[in-house]
Structure 1
Amino acid sequence: MQIPTDKKSQSLKIISALTIIILLVSAVVSMQNTSKPLEIETVSPSYDYLQTTVSAFGSLQPKVRHSILAQVDGIIENIYKRPGDKVSQGDLIIELVNPKLNRSIEQEKLLLQGKLAELEKMKATQRQLLQKQESKVLIAQYDLTISQSKLEAQNKLAALSIVSSLDLQQAELNQQKAKLFLEQEKYALDALKAMQKAEMNAYEFELQRATKQLELLERDKENLKIRAGQKGVIVKLNTNLEAGLNIQEDTMIGQIADPASLFALLRVQASQASLLELNQSVDIKIKGQHVSGLIERISPNVENSTVEVEVKFTQVLPSHSISNMSVTANIHYKSKDKNLLLVKPKHINYAGTNTVLVKNEISQRVKPQQITVGWIGEQHIQILEGLAVNDEVVLTDPREWDGSL
């Protein structure tokens, strides 16, 4: 069947007209889209207080510690306490043995007994010599008394011319001789007493030395029992301790901590250290429980990109708190003055020079702008330079911006 020529030409005209209409409509729509600017979401900086939470991590540490030291050489016989055990002052922790020390004590006891025997013997000898010399003094006094009596008698007889002057002179010489002899015997007695006193002092010194030496050895024997020097919890004990191990004097065996002196030793990222100050409030989480505290010390040194912070507690710690227990903390910060803040773009993660996109209010064009960022929080950043309050900032990463409007 053939289509008439007039009908075929009419259909072609209709199709051509429809095509022209579609092209015209597309052109109009395209012109409208070109003349209408693309709407871009922007944010503007504003002045407000910096409020943020600085995260920290660390552990509980005691301010009061007592070292457990071996004060004498010895071999471990028994271990009575282990890390984590609570102790009172004087509790036995480790017991040592030292056979050599025991022998030294027995030898010193024998030496002391010998010194005591020698002392008693010396006292007896001194008493004997002293009595002998005192007897000599008494005899000399008696001789002097007799010679004085004879001299007085000779004087009376001489006055009566019964004896000669020669006999009188002889009596005077005998009296002087007796007097001199008495003085010599008294001097000898005094010298003997002085010598005996010096001997006694020397023996007493030796006796004291021997007694003191025995006391020291007995104390060393007592020190074989290593006891707790204070009340607390054993936080450290050498892992290699076992029965039969030889321990040298002054070896540190472990540590005892006072639970009442626990504080939080935290580490904070160095980039956030400028937000910290003394007496700043801290919320510390200990095994699921929250305890309040205040910053007591901030270290001026940076180690592994972190700063050390000490926090004292203002609340009673949970009963299960022990030294070296890991903790986390949130340090709350609010600035004293208002700062220029901007909603945090996703691509800004460090302080210092960064780049953002700023939309020109008049031309509506977007261009890159360098800014200086200070503090960086979870939701806002601090603008130090490069932006003003009325600037419109596009939060898109400049590296992903295609330049279209």
Structure 2
Amino acid sequence: MVAGAERTRRSFLTLAGLLASGSLAACGSNTGRADGTNGDGTLRHWYHAYGEDGVQDAVKRYAEAYPAARVEVQWNPGDYDSKIVTALQNSPVPDVFEAQVKVEWVRQQQVVPLDDLLGAERGDFVQTLLTSQTVDGALYGVPQAIDTQMLFYRKSMLAAAGLQPPRTVDELVDATARLNTGGVRGLFVGNDGGVSTLTGPLLWSAGLDFLSVDGRAVGFNDPRAATVFGKLRALNTGGGLLLGAPTDWSDPGAFCDGLVAMQWTGLWNLPKIREAVGEDFGVLPFPALDGTGRVSVPVGAYSAMVNAKSADVDAAKAYVRWLWVERTEYQAEFATGFGVHLPARTSLDGAAAVLSSGPGAEAVRFVADSGRILSPPAWTAQAGTALSDAVARIAREGADPAAETRKALDVADSEITRLYG
């Protein structure tokens, strides 16, 4: 084994150990087989619309290779999460879909347990990912890959401004303003001013969270929440934040095209950024508010789930096991072949040589040391909307941080009571 591959192996084993402790009209993939489900020999599999070139073709190819049934892949651009919520309430389609499990789906018996699919391979999955897809002791999603976000910065631009990479939230606010020179803005965190991307990292920077560790209480009933949300207002009024970019935060275009000195975006964009700017960039976790806060990177993982209303739940489960447990070559390609994601299984570490050194290796360390689950099962859509709306009013309209945070707390408290009594 080459040295780089060995480093990659060690990095992923470390990542797994540390984490353990702590969508277009339907695009058919038709094999012509008639021994499936839904009466017409077809399993319907839904994905959201990945931004990387090649992913859609790959998942259609996986579906075509399934020997036991015909599988039709549907690619869903736009508001995929809302579409899934509606489908689970009213339809046997999709049979299989990717999402992050929610307690309310389990309470309403809209999804089925999948513990029996993992078998001896269970220990190979990053354990925190399994925990994030577990409700009341049962697993409802098989993780596909790990996504994370971080702060990319241009080394040359910071050096020209006499700045070090920001290590606190106040330093980030200051750097954003000071880097706003010569037609280049300091920072891009999304066209909504960071509301959708930074609400979680801001809470974590203050040592808080959406929910308590057990998921049964709100995790931001603390004055520091209002304080840190006020920092997003400072970013939005400091003059250095890019708004109205041609593409949103999940695309690296603003950074690659030199419109900004810093951008918050996904690790999946690492190849595009390196192609555009060479080695003139670095990566950082979101900084801490102060000495009692924490640096962080969000960790998200869409998982394969099965609709309880499927016409053939057993057939859908068998397909999920085949694709996301047995076919490790597809899993490795899905995670690392179309952008940079972290595999959900430690045995697939060798597939990600790009993560063995430089910013890629730093990203692995950030996730291992400071990764935080972005969407806990008990964090409901209603609670998320209330908090997002509150942060938007603070950041974009100058509303009172304490009053707005209290409104969101009240909604989140009500949601916890609704779920757990």
TM range, normalised to the smaller chain? Answer: under 0.3
Larger Rg over CA atoms = 1
Give TM-score, length-normalised by structure 1.
0.17
By percentage of residues, which structure has more strand? 1
